[in-house]
Amino acid sequence: MKRLALLGLVAAVFALAACGGDDGDGDGAAGGDVRGDTVALIEERGALKCGVTDTLPGFGFREPDGSFSGFDIEFCKAIAAAVLGDDAEVEFVAASSSARFELLSAGEVDLLSRVTTITAERDASRAVDFAQTTFYDGQGFVVHADSDIYDAADMGGATICVAAGTTTEQNLDDFFNEQGLSYTPLSGEGSEPQDQFVARRCDVFTSDKSGLAARIASLPNSDDYRFLPLTISKEPLAPGVRDYDSDWKDVVSWVVWGLINAEELGVTSANVDAWAADPPNTAVARLLGVPFEGGETADLGFAVDPQFIQRALRAVGNYGEIYARTVEPLGITRAGTLNALYTEGGILYAPPYR
């Protein structure tokens, strides 16, 4: 028995040596466990597998009846409608913050739509490519209303609840180091940080501001908590797709831009049928993939047919409608924030659809 174990060890060491031999530059960029044509894969399967969070009200949340709701969920539906013509053909997969990229690279999901921040490291070293940002966020802090913490300087020595494996976890290290303060992190998965904070296991709860607002709003006594007037990071939240599949990334990005362009052009879920039958101008005609005044339908060469944005619009409406339906009820108004259209003081600026 002992000799067997020894042999196993030897085998493992050999494997280690084989792996370690090629030291490379530590980039590990290739990844791509499941390469190829995700659009064809989805069409063949007849369903979009969407990796989502299921504990964040307003963004990705599993309702008591088992259905999913939220901002990120709407984008899953929009993309399913764009590719398959049916927004019900989505298979939601709960992807934890620490397992999300593995689920994507292993092919368990086609798309990550779960409040994921674009970072250089993720883009370069993980098998993930980021499509167009859907929500511009920043990291904030919330404390108990009766706490003595009012500003960054008061947080010295505090215990801080944070989601494991997130950019917020790393921002904390940067921020406190910059401030010359110490702190104790308490990392958990899913809604664990929230539970720990509510139980007063920690003094401060940190996450993306929208996520914090959503979680606090969902608590029975939301008046017991207070937000600190601090934003310590940029958190552009974007859908993630696998590396090396630009056709698929194009579809995802252009559904997002399409829905933003639709808002700019005034196309809504209410008027999409009428305007598809009789488009008011060429821009709307191109966006909806219909001919303008007896002309030809413009095919821009996507991996899906030219009417994909029209189908997405019919399923979920334009960007403004999605926002109003999911994020607005949390008390996060849109006007004046980064997520307003560029014509209204925000930074949502979609490239022209032509």
Partner 1 sequence: MATHAPQPPAGLPEPPEVPLVYQRRIRDLLIQALYVAVTALVIAYVVLQLGGREYGFGFLNQPASFDVGNQWLTNIDGTTNSRFTMYLVGVWSTIRVVVLAIALSTVFGILIGVARLSSNWLVSRLAMLFVETFRNAPLFVQIVLWYAVVLFGLPTIQNVINVGDFLFLSNRGIAIPWTVPDGGFWGGPDWMVGVWVAALFAAGGLAFWVRRRRQTAERETGKVQYPNRWALGLFAALALASFILLGMPVAIDRPIVEGTTYAEGMAIYPEFAALLLGLVVYTSAFVAEIVRGSIQALPRGQTEAASAIGLTAYQRLTTVILPQALRQIIPSVTNQYLNVSKNSSLASGVSYFDLFFVANIIQNKIGHAVEVFLLITVTYMLMSLVISLIMNYINRRVTLHSV
Residue ranges that bind partner 1, judged by CB under 8 A: 3-4, 7-12, 14-16, 18-33, 97-99, 101-102, 121, 125-127, 147-148, 157-159, 164-165, 169-170, 172-174, 176-177, 182-189, 192, 195-196, 199-201, 203
Shortest distance, CB of residue 50 to partner 1, whole angstroms?
A: 20
Shortest distance, CB of residue 246 to partner 1, whole angstroms?
A: 17
Provide the residue type at 72 as one letter: D
Helix (H) or strand (E) holding 230: none
Would residue 171 be called left, alpha or beta, if left means φ above 0 and alpha means ψ between -120 and 50 degrees?
Answer: alpha
Q: In this structure, are residues 249 and 131 in contact, taking their beta carbons and an 8 Å threshold? A: yes
- Long-range (24+ apart) CB contacts under 8 A made by 169-172 are 171/139, 171/232, 171/233, 172/206
Shortest distance, CB of residue 152 to partner 1, whole angstroms?
A: 16
Give the SS3 label for residue 127.
coil
Shortest distance, CB of residue 112 to partner 1, whole angstroms?
A: 13
Shortest distance, CB of residue 163 to partner 1, whole angstroms?
A: 11
- Comparing CB distances to partner 1, the nearer of 8 and 352 is 8
Shortest distance, CB of residue 223 to partner 1, whole angstroms?
A: 18
Q: In this structure, are residues 219 and 335 in contact, taking their beta carbons and an 8 Å threshold? A: no
Shortest distance, CB of residue 90 to partner 1, whole angstroms?
A: 25
Helix (H) or strand (E) holding 140: strand 139-144
Beta pairing partners, 142: 205, 227
- Comparing CB distances to partner 1, the nearer of 200 and 295 is 200
- Comparing CB distances to partner 1, the nearer of 176 and 292 is 176
Q: Which has the closest alpha carbon to 121: 162, 165, 75, 187?
A: 165
Shortest distance, CB of residue 208 to partner 1, whole angstroms?
A: 17
- Comparing CB distances to partner 1, the nearer of 8 and 291 is 8
- Comparing CB distances to partner 1, the nearer of 158 and 287 is 158
Q: In this structure, are residues 245 and 126 in contact, taking their beta carbons and an 8 Å threshold? A: no
Tokens of 344: 């209204």
d(CA 77, CA 197): 33
- Comparing CB distances to partner 1, the nearer of 43 and 192 is 192
Longest Cα–Cα distance of the chain, Å, equals: 83
Residues in the chain, total: 354
Tokens of 237: 């939240």
Question: DSSP character for 123?
Answer: H
Helix (H) or strand (E) holding 14: helix 2-21
- Comparing CB distances to partner 1, the nearer of 193 and 258 is 193
Q: Which has the closest alpha carbon to 73: 117, 119, 115, 132?
A: 115
Q: In this structure, are residues 78 and 86 in contact, taking their beta carbons and an 8 Å threshold? A: no
Shortest distance, CB of residue 241 to partner 1, whole angstroms?
A: 16
- Comparing CB distances to partner 1, the nearer of 196 and 337 is 196
- Comparing CB distances to partner 1, the nearer of 170 and 297 is 170
